[in-house]
Amino acid sequence: MTAPVVLDRRSVLAGGGALIVSFSLRGAIAQEQKPQSPALPGSLAKSPNLDSWIRIDANGQVTAFTGKAELGQGFRTAFQQIAAEQLDIPFDALKVITADTKLTANEGYTSGSHSMQDSGTAILHAAAQARALLVAEAARRFDLPPDGLRTENAAVIAPDGRRLGYGELVASDMLHVQAQPTSSLKDPAGFKVMGQPVPRVDIPAKVTGGAAYVQDMRLPGMVHARVVRPPSYGAQFVECDTAAIEKMPGVIQIVRDGNFLAVVAEKEFSAVKAMHALAAAAKWRESAKLPNQHDLANVLTALPSQDFAILQRSDPTVSGARSLEATYTRPYQSHGSIGPSCAVAQFIDGAMTVWTHTQGVYPDRQAIAEMLGMAPASVRLIHVEGSGCYGHNGADDAAADAALIARALPGRPVRVQWMREQEHGWEPYGPAMVTKLSASLTADGKIADWNFAVWSNTHSMRPGGAGALLAAQHMARSFAVPAPKPLPLPEGGGDRNAIPIYNFPNAHVMHHFIPAMPLRISAMRALGAYHNVFSTESFMDELAALAGADPVEFRLRHLDDQRGRAVVVKAAEEFGWTRGQQPPRNRGYGFAFARYKNLAAYCAIASEVEVDRETGRARLVRAVAAVDAGQVVNPDGITNQIEGAIVQSTSWTLYESVTFDETRITSIDWQTYPILRFNAVPDSIAVHIINRPGQPFLGSGETGQGPAAASLANAIAHATGKRLRDLPLSRKRIKDAIDA
């Protein structure tokens, strides 16, 4: 991912204008002096040309490009801030273009809290280097040294007051040069736009009914399609009498290809009615054998696994006396997007265009092209926002559905909208997981020995190949589901955050990777980190209790990472955490901490919960978080992400599990898959950001998921005196524990 980019001097020298040559030779010379040239920052490593990120038109319009997809995190605004700051352009004067296979760099997937690290960093450096090029060109024209020039309001200004606008300075190829490993970045102390809570650029349209989502697209001549999915995994189409359905008002066509079945109509509700009729008429042969959802711990640990020892640290001079062991489980959980997946596709003159809320326009294009037997160059994917996805939901599948149907109706834009039960029933879930932990304490109350084992599926079955797409699996010339692979460390998948951040003299971590996937699964916000942090941080509290130590002090006892210590201390202080604190009756306090992936943002959360002992109902009353996501671009954006993480993780942790019988998924709507509603919303959430000016962006989208869960679990244990280790920490489980 960070392969060094070799500067091609011949292409540099052939580049044209004096400016490009002199600029690029500087890099070339530097490279000769230092053969091991450092990798380019962020996504510049993969797409090194500055004009992949920044374009300046002769009329002065500046555009920043990102290959990442806005999913509701607000990074479009953050990227605009970065480019405006480094280029000295008014914020409002800048445009940002997001993921589109025709226009933007290939940045793979928008996932793993990587957008700020990858794309934000690329834009930061590309903008700074573009500014340097503009200043150099102005210096040449002014016949002045560049050091004396300044930039302001999209122009370069000489000490004598002469000024040249960026549009006047730019030459056609000026930015078509490779980036350099280092940039002359602005001093954070002088930031005017970065670091400010700039209002999100997308919110005005979203609160006034402007077109904001792929669901809102209305292309001329567009028709509406609905898919009829099989009733269960692997079900085979037997027969369907479609004669009456074809005659229903407004029905244009029924599209069937093997087990793929869909109907197209002029009007949307005609398509819905025809879909219901089709679903009732279609006969399927079902064969799925789903596991016992009430025994997932035994089901998972009994499946064949590939076993990896991912940490083996030994210090024979330290051994423990008192020991503890525990098993924690997580069920399958749904992304549960509020808007079911949707896509629009149009097939004209052998070229396919798909408007989609996929997280990866390039990999999804690859998969759709393979499914259709088309060259990727003939397929264009354009990202348009959808409802929040929180990982791999039905977006890619809906895009494939739309493409397959559009191919059957050349020329006509086809809009496919999944129904609620399709999103809930067919999305790839967050995988079920099991962790087994054991540890021992030294006489002075420190952890001597830590053992952690996790059983999990992979956490990404995202496209790359067509076999990841439902439509491709279901069509007659069907594509097999690709073999799952464990995601590599240091980021990891099922083992994400399985390695403790704490300093334990003896530590052993095993990753039992399970290839067999009883349910369709893939990436869900934070991947394995949600359960691994829940397990680690719950167990830390159990061990603190065994040691008779305060949970916060016990963590600090084992934590050397200074930035980690800073967020722990900050969250505790802001919460008003004190050793031996006595909560009001039926309330409890909990604490948890993690550094996401052990290499991204730090987050510590202190929680207060209230438990109704009669019903077992737990409610988060207040949460106080401290987060260090590196250099802050938009503090309100980070706060929004952490607030959201706490509320969403509270919902996962207290309520959520996918349900199924022996054959079919049975959690297919909001009644069968309840999530948090307003009656469970806390009284307050406070987020305290520790800014790190000049430090790398760390991304804040997923860092809160694990700590929020463990903080809640620890607070429930504090309130009830009972430790719950199986997610979700449901009303019934809490009540049963209280009564036991």
Exposure string (b/e) for 52-72, b if CB count within 10 Å is 16 or more?
A: bbbbbeeebebebbbbbbbbb
User: Of 291 and 360, which CB lies nearer to another protein in the complex structure?
Assistant: 360
Q: C-alpha dihedral over 198, 204, 206, 209, to 10 degrees?
A: 180
User: Of 340 and 494, which CB lies nearer to another protein in the complex structure?
Assistant: 340
Residue 251 belongs to what H/E stretch? strand 251-257
User: Is the CB of residue 179 less than 8 Å from the CB of residue 126?
Assistant: yes
Residue 635 belongs to what H/E stretch? helix 635-655
User: Of 74 and 181, which CB lies nearer to another protein in the complex structure?
Assistant: 74
Binding to another protein (CB under 8 A) within 61-80 occurs at: 71-74
**Closest CB 143 distance from another protein, rounded Å:** 46
Q: How remote is the C-alpha of 274 from its chain's centroid? A: 36
280 binds another protein (CB under 8 A): no
Contact pick of 267, 285, 485, 732 for another protein (by CB under 8 A): 267
Gap between the Cα atoms of 148 and 139, Å rounded: 9
Mark residues 90-109: x for contact with another protein by CB under 8 A, - for none.
Answer: --------------------
The window from 138-146, 434-442, 667-675, 724-732 that contacts another protein (CB under 8 A) reads 667-675
Of 529, 454, 460, give the one whose Cα is nearest residue 496. 529
**Closest CB 459 distance from another protein, rounded Å:** 20
Contact pick of 669, 693, 694, 721 for another protein (by CB under 8 A): 669
Gap between the Cα atoms of 667 and 432, Å rounded: 15
β-strand 379-383 against 414-417: which pairing, if any?
Answer: unpaired
The window from 31-39, 40-48, 204-212, 252-260 that contacts another protein (CB under 8 A) reads 204-212
Amino acid in the structure at residue 532? N
Mark residues 374-413: x for contact with another protein by CB under 8 A, - for none.
Answer: -----------xxxx-x-----------------------
Gap between the Cα atoms of 128 and 83, Å rounded: 8
Q: What DSSP character marks residue 522?
A: -
248 binds another protein (CB under 8 A): no
Amino acid in the structure at residue 470? L
Residue 447 belongs to what H/E stretch? strand 447-456
| Binding footprint of another protein, residue count (CB under 8 A) | 63
Task: Find where tokens 């996401």 sit.
Answer: 596
Gap between the Cα atoms of 291 and 485, Å rounded: 22
Binding to another protein (CB under 8 A) within 631-660 occurs at: 636, 640-641, 643-648, 650-651
Amino acid in the structure at residue 493? G
Q: What DSSP character marks residue 476?
A: S
Binding to another protein (CB under 8 A) within 312-371 occurs at: 336-340
Contact pick of 213, 323, 408, 737 for another protein (by CB under 8 A): 213
User: Of 208 and 317, which CB lies nearer to another protein in the complex structure?
Assistant: 208
Mark residues 8-47: x for contact with another protein by CB under 8 A, - for none.
Answer: ----------------------------------------
Contact pick of 375, 681, 721, 732 for another protein (by CB under 8 A): 681
User: Of 168 and 421, which CB lies nearer to another protein in the complex structure?
Assistant: 421
User: Of 208 and 582, which CB lies nearer to another protein in the complex structure?
Assistant: 208
Which residues share a beta bridge with 284? 237
User: Of 222 and 408, which CB lies nearer to another protein in the complex structure?
Assistant: 222
**Sheet with 414-417, edge to edge strand ranges:** 251-257, 260-265, 223-228, 414-417, 342-348, 351-356, 379-383
Residue 2: HSE in the Cβ half-sphere, 13 Å Cα cutoff: 11
Contact pick of 68, 131, 200, 392 for another protein (by CB under 8 A): 200
210 binds another protein (CB under 8 A): yes
Contact pick of 18, 29, 58, 205 for another protein (by CB under 8 A): 205
SS3 content of the chain, % helix, strand, coil (to 5): 35, 20, 45
User: Of 418 and 513, which CB lies nearer to another protein in the complex structure?
Assistant: 418
User: Of 297 and 606, which CB lies nearer to another protein in the complex structure?
Assistant: 606
User: Of 370 and 423, which CB lies nearer to another protein in the complex structure?
Assistant: 423
Residue 464 sits at the vertex; the CA angle it makes with 234 and 303, to the nearest 5 degrees, is 50
Task: Find where tokens 């003159």 sit.
Answer: 349
191 binds another protein (CB under 8 A): no
**Closest CB 358 distance from another protein, rounded Å:** 15
User: Is the CB of residue 561 less than 8 Å from the CB of residue 595?
Assistant: yes
User: Of 25 and 212, which CB lies nearer to another protein in the complex structure?
Assistant: 212
Contact pick of 206, 283, 285, 732 for another protein (by CB under 8 A): 206
Gap between the Cα atoms of 365 and 464, Å rounded: 8
Residues forming contacts to another protein in the complex (CB under 8 A) are 71-74, 197, 199-200, 202-213, 215-216, 218, 249, 267-269, 272, 336-340, 385-388, 390, 417, 419-420, 636, 640-641, 643-648, 650-651, 669-671, 675-679, 681-682, 684-685
